[in-house]
Structure 1
Amino acid sequence: MSAEKSKEEKNKDLVARMYEALNKTVIGLMPEFWTKDMGWYGPAGIGTLHGVEEFDEALRPFNHAFPDKVARDEIRIAEGDYVAAHGYQHATHTGDWLGIPASGKSVKIRYMDFWHVKGDKLAENWVLIDILDFLEQLGYDIDKVLAFIGSKPPEFFDGVETD
């Protein structure tokens, strides 16, 4: 006789199944795991996404830049209707991402996620991505990058073209 899974275990399993789908790098799989009106709150450069369709479409540039990516959580914990994880995207940087030219380098992109589960689907996701560490893996001198950014007023970047 097996015991029924706790809410926390069910929520962690939902995240695990969603990761399996994300790792396939196929657009159109996310509605199975997310509420239609979900919110995704990402870092600077990516921003906030509203609705599972917008989220699914926003995966295209990342999938293009890292077609062989695999997300692996090192830690995944749950409490009530919330799940949190820390892990890495292991990938080869073969396409431009956030205006950063493809490098062809193998990278480990550190992330941290916090999900809110409603019913049997993910409803919200707060995401931290260590973009500075990613740049450092590509050979950028982070001190110089930050010094350059800090030396310019915000208006300097108004005319800068990105993808």
Structure 2
Amino acid sequence: MTIIERNRATVARFLAGTHSPDIEDIAVIDETVVPHIRCHGFPGFPDGEFGDRESYKTFFRVFRQSFGDMSFETLATVATGEFVSAHWKIHATHTGPFRGIAPDNARVVFDGVALYRMEEGRIAETWLRINEPLLVAQLGRGSARAA
């Protein structure tokens, strides 16, 4: 297996675990992420930044409380030397507060991109870009819903 194949497989395993119907699958973070992870662009953290695996787990726990009944799809993955990028789409139900917007069980659909820098086959840095304008536009709008 090449380094690129190994890195792509690690990211696929990470995404499958962190977006699994069983939130306990976020334990995959311990196996796929370095302890000194650096993360950028994460809603709910000061300046969108944090630097440890427990914060990564917290992000996914809170995110899953905000958006339940989730289906996650990886649309494209690109891997080069030390970087893997994934374009993804989520369909979910707004079940908990997000950005100060109270949940109303709206079905939402949104996409985003994550760029992962790898170290020895594990994720060492993540840049997250959620299509937040699309997501927020679907929240708290009564009967106007996404498909």
Give TM-score, length-normalised by structure 1: 0.76
| Cα distance in 2 between the residues matched to 1:123 and 1:33 | 9
| Cα distance in 2 between the residues matched to 1:28 and 1:43 | 19
Deviation at residue 87 of structure 1 after TM alignment? 1.4
How many residue pairs get matched? 136
State the Cα deviation string for residues 1-49 of structure 1 (Å, max 9, x = none): xxxx322121111111111111222253311110001011115654111
| Equivalences for residues 32-47 of structure 1 within 5 A | 32-43=31-42, 45-46=44-45, 47=48
| Cα distance in 2 between the residues matched to 1:131 and 1:103 | 17
| Equivalences for residues 1-163 of structure 1 within 5 A | 5-24=1-20, 25-26=23-24, 27-43=26-42, 45-46=44-45, 47-138=48-139
Deviation at residue 58 of structure 1 after TM alignment? 2.3
Amino acid at match of 1:100: I
22-31 vs 72-81, which moves further = 22-31
| Cα distance in 2 between the residues matched to 1:43 and 1:121 | 19
User: Alignment RMSD, CA only?
Assistant: 1.7
Higher Rg of the two aligned structures: 1
Secondary structure of 2:30's counterpart equals: helix
Secondary structure of 1:53's counterpart equals: helix
Amino acid at match of 2:129: L
43-52 vs 96-105, which moves further = 43-52
Amino acid at match of 2:5: E
What percentage of aligned pairs have identical amino acids?
A: 26
Amino acid at match of 1:48: E
| Cα distance in 2 between the residues matched to 1:41 and 1:103 | 28
Amino acid at match of 1:40: C
Amino acid at match of 2:75: E
Query: Are residues 43 and 82 of structure 1, via their aligned partners in 2, closer, same or farther at CA, if it must alter by over 3 Å?
Result: same
Gaps of 5+ in 2: 142-147
| Cα distance in 2 between the residues matched to 1:137 and 1:62 | 16
